[in-house]
Amino acid sequence: MKKGFLILLFFVTMTNLTVFSQVTFGVKGGLNMTDINSSTIHNYEKNNSGFFFGPTAKIALPFGLGVDGSLLYDQRSAKVKTELDGGKNYSTTVKQQQITVPVNLRYGADLSKQFGVYLFVGPQFGFNVGDKTVSTNYDDWDFKTAQLSVNIGAGATIFNHLQVSANYNLACSKAADLTINDNQKIGNGKMNAWQISLGYFF
């Protein structure tokens, strides 16, 4: 119910803003480089790759300001290494699959008729659509239904249609509870990510 309401609110807001501004629709996709932060005995391999894609829209406002929003399928993964008693190492890939709704405020400047740059910041709402629990040799990752994060980044617009951007997605809420022995909580995990994206606007 909450998930549907937030997605509906996103589209209603974007639609209403078109009355006062210029809106452009497109598609975007890109790569995630996942950086896990947790409080357990795990070791993590850095820069585990993932991907995202989906429809997007941007709205031009006065004074170089704008708003952009997307509805994306987002997949992130990280290889979890655990050293147990006896010196044995075990490795498990933990994968998170979400529908994400990033909404960013942006400020940009045109450097020429064909090239512009911009900065952006804004919240991102994520809703789990993958496995609810992923088990490793030490604990279980019980993924949350919803997650809040923040995007901070910069980008460039080329030929008025192509858009390239890079940002850091910082998790503000935990992605999962980490439990052992029939749901005994031992910590939590957050999935931050560096992201590089390419978009095309019609």
Q: What pLDDT, in 10s, does the model give residues 78-99?
A: 887 776 666 667 778 889 999 9
What pLDDT digit, counting tens, does each position of 47-71 carry?
Answer: 688 999 999 999 999 999 999 999 9
CATH number for the segment(s) 2-201: 2.40.160.20
Domain boundaries, the chain: 2-201
Contact 53, 31 (CB under 8 A): no
pLDDT of residue 7: 63
What CA–CA distance (Å, rounded) separates 134 from 44?
Answer: 15
Query: Nearest Cα to 194, choosing from 79, 67, 33?
Result: 33
Residues making up the chain, counted from first to last: 202
Q: How confident is the model at residue 45 (pLDDT cuts 50, 70, 90)?
A: low
**In terms of Cα–Cα distance, which of 7, 17, 117 is closest to 60?**
17
